[in-house]
Amino acid sequence: MNKNLTKVALRYRALFLDIKREDIDMKSNTSVMTRAFAARLMENGFSLSEELLHALDMVSTDTLADTVECINNIMGVNLNWASLVKGWDKPTKETNTDHLITWIANIFGMENLFKGTTLPCGCFIPEGIFPLERYNGCPFCGTPFETSNFVYKGQTSKQKELRLFTRHDLKKIFDSLLSSVTPLDETQKDSLKLMLNEFPLSEDTNIGMKETTMLIIEAMIEKSKGDEATRFFKTPTDVLRYLWYKKTGFVQIIEPKTLMTHSKKMYHHMFGPLDKSADAAKVMKQKLMLKYDRKTCLCVARWLNAIPMTAKQAAENMNPKRGMWVRMIRALRLGEYSRKKGMEHLSEILDVFYKNDYETWLGTVDKARKENNADKTLALLKERPGLFARSLFASMLRFGSDKVLEAFDNVADNLPARLLLSLGNAAESYFDINQTRLAHPITGVTYKIEPNKLLNLYDENSRRKMVEDVNNIYKASMERRFAKQKNDAKSVFIDPKLFSIPVNVGNRSTTIQDTSCALMGTRFPIEGDAVRLFLQWGKGLHAQWLDMDLSCRIALPNNKTAECAFYSLNCVGAKHSGDIQHIPEMVGTAEYIELSLPELDAAGAKYVTFTCNAYSCGSLSPNLVVGWMKSAYEMKISEKNGVAYDPSCVQHMVRISEGNLSKGLVFGILDVARREIVWLEMPFTAQTLRGADNESIESLLRKLEAKLTVGELIEMKAKAQNIVRTEKYEEADEVYNYEWALNPADVSKLLNI
């Protein structure tokens, strides 16, 4: 069994079998082993398509057993899911007074003055303070003493059907990831890395994004194919981006000043934990010292020498990062290699660069803008449509909407569709004088961006017209592009679920989704009266203080809120399983929160925000798993050890990747009235739920709700191509269902126009 391909397939609600589809006998009776395998998968909440069921008869029993084990690992069946409190759906009625008395007793060593119990962790619990019979560990310091080797299974009311994926199907996924014209999220990057070991790259491989190219180059260099990677470097910035990625793991090039400002956080991501006594900035500076062997120097020199740009174009491309290039040129001995035979182009580039014998386009634009020369500024911006798009809104405010949009409309069709789409998505918030926008740079810190001051020069009607004009231009351009596509289809089926999934432009997930590939902003309908949040962390780590917290905030009428967290285990409509602060040896630990929808309804709750936080260390623990469960049937909670996890009831779960820098993460919002959970990711830097700013959360939610949905984009395509929408997929020439949308790279193909 190929575990890499099995992992990737499961993310697309499929099971990988290394067989040929045409060899499947659809009329055969399924074997005993196949039926036993299907029963094991049902326990995890999966059913099998008819094609997959018959295909399983073609593989060995060892493959079936290995597949079950692989799925168990992915679903977390083998993890420790015991909570701190036994049967935690019944409150222990512990109070802050219990904690205060216990703290005093331990600080002043009162073991000899009071009756009580000294627990294995060393904490003394006075008699009558905590109901110790209700705990699996210490209620004071949060150290668990018991673990569990079982979970509940099969309580779900709705199973997820798995399809068959052959090697051919996964090769299509692989190609779609390579050609995606939107940046890959963390799950897609991980899938691509897994498949790079299984599928070769052809000479005519089409790579849609610069960031994807970096992953490909790294894979080629690991296989000692550095010279073959030359074809992927089109500009000097591509070379610098790769060198930066190799050094730091970041695709985005960060200025040294910014890097040092967030030195502790960035160091933790790049190089691992840092000694508390160490100076992060100083140690990072040493780590980032530029040292390259001659093999690397020669490879980079060849890449630059083969750049398909004139020397002046290359020097201008290098200018924005001039300081970094000066250091790189010296460290890579490029001056020495430029004097060698065959390196004439490199020599010319360096000569022009050092002599400053070039003009920068950006400098010319800035000069024209400062002189308020609208005609010259717009003429220059039309030369580079991408940069025109990025400065469009500010230019509209400075030079007037009509004039700028008329110039922009002349070049709109030359822009990538994803960039046009992002303009339409952003216009509503940008021109709202009362709305704060959010930025999520690579440092993991969420920044608020205040409205442009020039907005005050325009009245509300003028600002509203600007939004409408931007939307009209981008929609008209998209329709022209779709109309140019040849399409013989006469009818199309669009799954209604696609109208609740935003097009993935501008918001990328930084977590890994091992059981599905939902786009941020996707709405998940809730069945039943309960939603159960879960958090699992610490698997494979030694026993230590590693305090991760699961929390939620409930928005109530009259601007009131209630919080369910380690400091408030019970509140209206929510119950917490207890605050675990120390992890046991190697097996990990878990926390839960149960939300009662009837109680939330009765209290008039509007929505509930889900968060997880790193209380004890610099960022969320790698491989931490967080998500929620739901079922129309009642989900059990163990009175023996508090286990409340059932893989079959998991609706959505994500895993924190090694590169995640955030200290806190908002991972979902329950809309109580609509009985839906909106999946989103908003990192923040606080240790507790209270650091998750309500205004920022609501801003992100509004931004996602305002985005064009996948269903609306397909409708736009159908209208432009004169295709009629039908309600029956069996009658449609083109079918866009929810399973199709599970591959965001396929969705992004709609933008490849």
- Taking the domains of the chain in order of start, what are their residue ranges? 96-129, 233-355, 361-484, 491-503+709-751, 511-706
Return the DSSP state at 48.
E
C-alpha angle 148/152/157, rounded to 5°?
A: 160
CA distance linking residue 423 with residue 389, whole number of Å: 8
pLDDT in the model for residue 532 = 98
Q: Measured between alpha carbons, how far is residue 11 from residues 6, 16, 478 in Å?
A: 9, 11, 30
Q: Measured between alpha carbons, how far is residue 348 from residues 230, 355, 356 in Å?
A: 19, 11, 12
Residue 386, token pair as written in the block: 């991408």
pLDDT in the model for residue 138 = 96
Helix (H, G, I), strand (E, B) or coil at 633: coil
Residues 300/332, Cβ–Cβ less than 8 Å: yes
pLDDT in the model for residue 192 = 93
Q: What is the enclosing helix (H) or strand (E) of 684?
A: strand 682-684
| CA nearest to 216, candidates 192, 249, 236 | 192
pTM over 0.75: yes
Residues 307/236, Cβ–Cβ less than 8 Å: yes
pLDDT in the model for residue 381 = 94
| Residues of the chain below pLDDT 50 | 267, 442-443
| CA nearest to 637, candidates 132, 88, 26, 122 | 88
pLDDT in the model for residue 29 = 87
Superfamily of domain covering 511-706: sav2460 like domains (2.60.60.30)
pLDDT in the model for residue 287 = 58
